[in-house]
Amino acid sequence: MNQDSDGAVEHEADEPGIEYPGLFLKKGEDARLRQGHLWVFSNEVDTGRSPLTEFTPGEIVAICDAGGRAFGLGYINPQALICARLVERGLRHPIDKSLIVHRLKVALELRKQLYAEPFYRLVFGEADGLPGLVLDRFDDVVVGQIGTLGMESLRDAVLEAVMKVIKPRCFVWKNNGSVRKLEALPEYLEVPVGTLEPLTRVVEAGVEFAVDIANGQKTGWFYDQRDNRDRLARLVPGKRVLDVFSYVGAWGVRSAVAGASEVVCVDSSATALAAVTAAAAANGCGDRVRTIQADAFDALKKMRQERERFDVVIIDPPAFVKRKKDFAEGRLAYRRIFEAGMQLLSRDGILIACSCSHHMPRSALLDTINQGARHLDRSVQVLAQLQQSADHPVHPAIPETDYLKGYICRVLPS
């Protein structure tokens, strides 16, 4: 390994022609990366040796320790707080289409092992070795979401790799969402391959749905709760079920298919609820699924006044703690909605309480559920702890990848 006068690092042994600018870390700042993490924060960089302003945004860099030893390749965004992400440990494989093809094949192998049908999250960013990239597969339609400038620079290679490994009929870039703002990336929807139909079919555990990818939430579907929804079969037969923040009814319609006697789905979006009704009809349970379009907090309050009761209440809301500084306020919102859900439960009923907020730790979620119950003079038994489905693997060194938490609880009178 040499460093020439420009600060470029050349790897002599394996790839004589490859040269990358070196990103030099301060002393000791390589330790977290060596332990498995993939992010470099801008305050960890030795900016005297490698000034961030001298890098081209999005370019590939050799990440080096304070001793000058390059230990991996990554991409850089000098303007972002997370200024670089490690993509390849070692220097043998350049970050290009063939590396992405390899990572995609490894990712695909897992999903094929997990699910009989081609509906799943194919790539979950850092946890699949492709930081900043999400790919959701809906059979022959693949939806991509990029969250970083470095991955945006690899966009064409990603698309080529997907066309090689998956060969979808249609590929969609649904590049929106708040994370892009952190990297000053524009938001856009683009369909570089095929035609995106107004509705795309999703099959989850044999239950049929149709989602509007362009206008729906996130990529159109929440695969992260799929494995958790598989647990409904043991909880809902013969029961009245309330699905709060239902979106297109993944929990609710699956409950009805699993034998619930009656299901009510609550969401503020009329289009989402139209999809609930369509899915219920398509799966032969239209007579047991009802929808309420309203703010969830208002709807639950009203149902309480009307003395409605449910045996199972599912609360799977959008993230209430979007930023760390929103923690106190967001936690209060969770507490209020969980309490409202418990007030609608029949005696010894089941509450499924979830949070997809990165900044809401598992322990805080459980405390919140317990505090809500105690405030109502009830007690909770935790029957199961939930996390995101296996097609969203957790990266053990990156707590942010462990974002979805939930508890299945039985709520007793006191």
Binding residues (CB under 6 A) for ligand SAH: these are 217, 222, 225, 245-247, 250-251, 267-269, 272, 295-296, 316, 318
For residue 42, the 8-state DSSP code is G
Taking the complex as a whole, the smallest distance from the CB of residue 36 to ligand SAH amounts, in Å, to: 30
For residue 98, the 8-state DSSP code is H
d(C-alpha 241, C-alpha 50), whole Å: 58
CB contact set of 255 (below 8 Å; sequence gap of 6+): 232, 236, 239, 241, 243, 263, 312, 314
Pick 3 or 217: Cβ nearer ligand SAH: 217
CB contact set of 138 (below 8 Å; sequence gap of 6+): 119, 200, 201, 202, 211, 213, 220, 221
Q: Say which of 285, 354, 356, 409 is annotated catalytic.
A: 356
Pick 17 or 198: Cβ nearer ligand SAH: 198
- Give the residue carrying structure tokens 């909605």: 337
CB contact set of 237 (below 8 Å; sequence gap of 6+): 258, 259, 260
Q: Is 14 exposed, middle or buried (0-12, 13-18, 19+ CB in 10 A)?
A: exposed
Six-digit token string for 16: 């004589």
CB atoms within 10 A of CB 4: 10
CB atoms within 10 A of CB 28: 10
Catalytic residue flag (residue 356): yes
Read off φ and ψ for residue 24, nearest 5 degrees: -95, 130
Half-sphere exposure of 335 (CA within 13 A, CB side): 15
β-strands 19-24, 39-41 pairing = unpaired
Pick 171 or 245: Cβ nearer ligand SAH: 245
Instruction: Determine which helix (DSSP H) or strand (DSSP E) holds 80, and give its type and residue range.
Output: none
Tell me if 304 sits within 8 A of 342, measured CB to CB. Answer: no
Taking the complex as a whole, the smallest distance from the CB of residue 267 to ligand SAH amounts, in Å, to: 5
Pick 111 or 218: Cβ nearer ligand SAH: 218
Taking the complex as a whole, the smallest distance from the CB of residue 251 to ligand SAH amounts, in Å, to: 5
- Give the residue carrying structure tokens 């309420």: 292
* Residues 319, 324, 325: CA angle, nearest 5 degrees: 110
Q: Which of 163, 136, 283 is nearest to 217 (CA)?
A: 136
Taking the complex as a whole, the smallest distance from the CB of residue 337 to ligand SAH amounts, in Å, to: 9
Tell me if 147 sits within 8 A of 75, measured CB to CB. Answer: no
Tell me if 81 sits within 8 A of 182, measured CB to CB. Answer: yes
Q: Which of 76, 100, 106 is nearest to 157 (CA)?
A: 100
For residue 231, the 8-state DSSP code is T
Q: Return the active site residues.
A: 356
